Chains A and B, each alone.
Chain A
């Protein structure tokens, strides 16, 4: 890895749903008031488990592949940047295509916005804001050696399989030792393996739900 940029690792087991990451992300001068990270309940009503999602900074980003305006660029450090304002046509392709649900079109700006791993901070050797404030270490930024020394019981992986699509990401996710790829067959969620009644995954919630 060149430059000052270190490894960003998400460890969802440690997330407590406090949303300090969202609060702090929204303080950034480049997108003040709008967080580029989000926290979801994994199984609302069943478990208090939550999980944060940052841009995974894919090696071959789907968002850039589907961009008709060639507005999404990966820099030499592997950071996938928000769309280039002069090029972006706010067509929504990236938002629809990203397997992680990260890019968001700002209607007001007519531009895609997303996490750029706090380029203003990380490029000068600081940690990203979310990984600095995260009280539990669910968001970790540091060297691989540091991560391994501190957390010997998990494995950071960065290989994902969504159906037939294989994606390698710059950001890694901690999983139990022995796992080397996270594979997800969307068809299994939507149709069930036996082809029974469609069962929708529970809708993740980022806001308190309105009441009846």
Chain B
């Protein structure tokens, strides 16, 4: 189920601000496990599974992906663009592009031939403003189909690598959405007393915006934020979380220490693998806005280890999604059977 979901969702586009365009796919997967659906006013989707008590638990994973936005149609027919969310320009070179104008148009991002690029220029970092998209169309033809402000993404289909590893664009944070789906699936089996809200939050990549408005709307007692975290590669610090070893549990000022401790206890008790991730100041995730929304929402952050973040080849292990989802379902079950106020009390 998880692999099917991810392959389907990652084959569509969800650029920040335009998440609703393919929102029906999220509905298709979540509605069988939930009782009601609502939206905030800037594009977040909220699926609710009603419980038997008054406790509200909000799960949040962001629905948006980084992308491109057209800024200019040049006289010679090339398109200039800017990034929506943080993108390293080097990761855009030699990529296929789809532009969502009046119709979908293919393009490519090229680069000057090495023959004509002096050594010192090759060593300089590329900048997005120096790149352009080539569609093959003339300016006149383009103007009929594309306008400034249209969004675009790298054209890339999800790819199953060996073992349970998959690679795709926008696994940040469709991996988190997939975790929510596992939780919904698990809770259907074991039932729950708390009201569970699965929030697919909009515009995280441009400043954790949808999580502010969605959490205001839900007004939950606690928040469980699911995002991706840096996964270990040879060029990363050795303490980085590894793929296939469970979620990285964030430790830091943003996260409620007692709730975090409770989650770790549950993982230990039920043998769910987990790792730690130190997050001393800013985590750059939806916890940023949840923690300080309304009177404050006690949060935990669980990160699915992911390699090559913010590129079109983001890589994760499906096992981590399964482990994280199951651990959260068990965690919710434990909360249902204990006094939440006591857990949260400092």
A, B co-complexed: no
Report A's interface with B, CB cutoff 8 A: none
